[in-house]
Chains A and B, each alone.
Chain A
Amino acid sequence: MANDKDSGDEIVISVRGLCNHFGDQKIHDNLDLDVRRGEILGVVGGSGTGKSVLMRSIIGLQQPSSGSIAVFGENLLDDDTEADDGVRKRWGVLFQGGALFSTLTVAENVQVPLREFYADLDGQLLDEIALTKVHLSGLPPEAAAKYPSELSGGMKKRAGLARALAMDPELLFLDEPTAGLDPIGAANFDRLTKELKETLGLTVFLITHDLDSLYAICDRVAVLADKKVIAIGKIDELLATDHPWIREYFTGPRGRAAKRG
């Protein structure tokens, strides 16, 4: 939150020894990851290396085969639903396709978590909060009264972000937020993410394929390969490693272009 400056190396998400498999196929094998308060952590990796599965495990949508996951120090894998709700109040999740509720308008979508957790909010204030979030996410005001089916792909992402921001979360999960956006829209989205991080003191867990996003906004980058996090750190530090995939990723033609930008 705004007045909470990042308190050094406080760990917000801690993943230890995570294993996930679907049938015979192993996705994660003894994966460890820490996310610090107030940082934007970019998560990269080739297609199928389990980035989304990692996010789903952290937010409790995927039951891992083994390992421990703590968010704000709270273990989400136990059956303590009350404590889990306390954590859910403090995070926002943007899914790849936006995952908006199709029968509600954008503003009503934003109000869903508010109504769930703060039932005593006054109706007018609820509407005003929803409009604030719609504005924050960079949507034009008239989009608030529209239904998801009337929005373009990029607008759906922004509407999804507005809903993720509804509770003024401390922790934001973004799953490929700039995929499918035009370069201008993608750059705006990056700027918005950074701005929100700075204004609201957010911690951001950002899955992306977008090298421009990595260079522009990420404080640290975690690389997923060989079923675990093979490297984590600033991009310069990653470049110093000699893992072939990392070198190819950052020094390939697209990587070089993004660096120049």
Chain B
Amino acid sequence: MSDAADLPADVISEQDDHGGALLRFTGSLSIAHIAALDRKLAAVTGPISAIDISAVHRIDTVGAWLVYRTARDQNAAITGATSDAQRLIDEVRGSDNGASIKPADGNPALRILGELGSAMVETLSGMVKFIGFVGQVILGLLTVIIHPSRLRVNAIIQRFEMVGVRALAIVGLMSFLIGIVIAQQGAVQLRQFGAEVFTVNLIGRLTFRELGVLMTAIMIAGRSGSAFAAQLGTMKITEEIDAMRTIGVSPIEALVIPRVLATVLMMPLLAFYSCIIAVIGGGLLCWAVLEIPPATYVDRLRDVTPLTDFYVGMIKAPLFGAIIAIAGCFQGLQVENNAEEVGLKTTAAVVQAIFLVIVLDAFFAVFFSSIGWN
């Protein structure tokens, strides 16, 4: 590429015989040199009557475009073109059609209003769709209950592993640390009143009633809810879900029900496991810092934690599981068009699931207190 043909492009302006200005291009009119040439051309002023490209060593489409554009703007004739150059110039002439490279943006004020409006409509129609989807899932569940043979047992068991078994390590570690944090903070605060011993109450009641199940739900939303959305979203893009429909397989029955059932069944187990590990973590801290021996710790725990706390946690767990799975599957099935949407909908699935879980948790907190389970 270092031969004479690759001399940088240049442009010279000179007077021709008839008193008009002549623009003479030289060198290689290729894309590598075009930026500099474009700046040079911008500096050329005055009327140009002709453009001579006979001294051009080589030319590509970009060079041809530049020559054509200069000729068009100056209303000048092109001379000295080789047949190849002429063919290129003829070819690029066709692209001079004033097309735009992006869809028109329109009036900014109107656009903001429009975006606001469509965001409203989208939110509302999203809510309606979500309620519709919950209905579809319930209908699907009813069908499966009426025709148990249509339940995809293998798929559900496979999800047990993905949602439940593989989450044990991370949920366990998280719960252990949370148990330690509750115990540590409780010990520090309660010590000011000489009431360290109530740290056990704090650990027992808080874990079983609230934190065990809530933290597990958040972890599962991040782990499995996102996975559901990404899986179904990808299947939507590759038309697998359309293929299922045409074969006569209901995507709700084949994809959504197994995921929802698996999450609903796994959540209470994981939540209980999480509570136990958190209690162990808290107990170890009590032993180390407050010098409460394990036997005393367990005794005290049984005294202060009512069974209703356990019920509260275990009632919430399957509902949280259902919300996480339904939100994940719903967002996954909303994916359309392009791969970027898979990412957006996966994020939406996690945000929606965690939001709904916390809203429901607040509702339950009030509800269980008012029926006297406090």
Contact = CB atoms under 8 A, between A and B. Distances in A.
B97 A131 contact: yes
Interface string B19-53: 00000000000111011101100000000000000
Interface string A1-12: 111100000000
A200 B95 CA distance: 16
Interface stretch (A15-23, A50-58, A137-145, A243-251): A137-145
A7 to B, nearest CB: 11
A168 interface: yes
Interface stretch (B81-89, B134-142, B216-224, B291-299): B81-89
A144 B100 contact: yes
Interface residues of B, number: 39
A108 B101 contact: yes
A141 B61 contact: no
Interface in B92-138: 92, 94-95, 97-103
Interface in A99-148: 102-103, 105, 107-108, 111, 114, 118, 120-122, 125, 127-136, 141-142, 144-148
Contacts of A120: 35-36
Contact of B101 (A2, A131, A165): A131
Interface centre among A1, A103, A199, A200 (most CB of B within 10 A): A1
B60 A132 contact: no
A136 B35 contact: no
A62 B32 CA distance: 29
Contacts of B91: 136, 199
A167 interface: yes
Given A2-B60, A3-B5, A127-B101, A199 B88 contact: yes
**Size band of the A side of the interface?**
35 or more
Interface string B327-349: 00000000001111000000000
B60 A200 contact: yes
Contact of B57 (A3, A127, A128): A3
B65 A128 contact: yes
A121 to B, nearest CB: 5
A2 B121 CA distance: 54
A242 to B, nearest CB: 42
B346 to A, nearest CB: 16
A199 B337 CA distance: 36
B8 to A, nearest CB: 13
Contacts of A149: 337-338
Contacts of A111: 101
Contacts of B38: 121-122, 125
B101 A102 contact: no
Given A121-B35, A136-B95, A141-B97, A2 B58 contact: yes
B178 interface: no
A105 B60 contact: no
A129 B99 contact: no
13 contacts: A1-B58, A102-B337, A107-B102, A120-B36, A127-B101, A129-B31, A131-B99, A132-B62, A132-B65, A132-B92, A141-B99, A142-B99, A146-B103
Interface of B: 5, 30-32, 34-36, 38-39, 56-62, 65-66, 69, 82, 84-85, 87-88, 91-92, 94-95, 97-103, 337-340
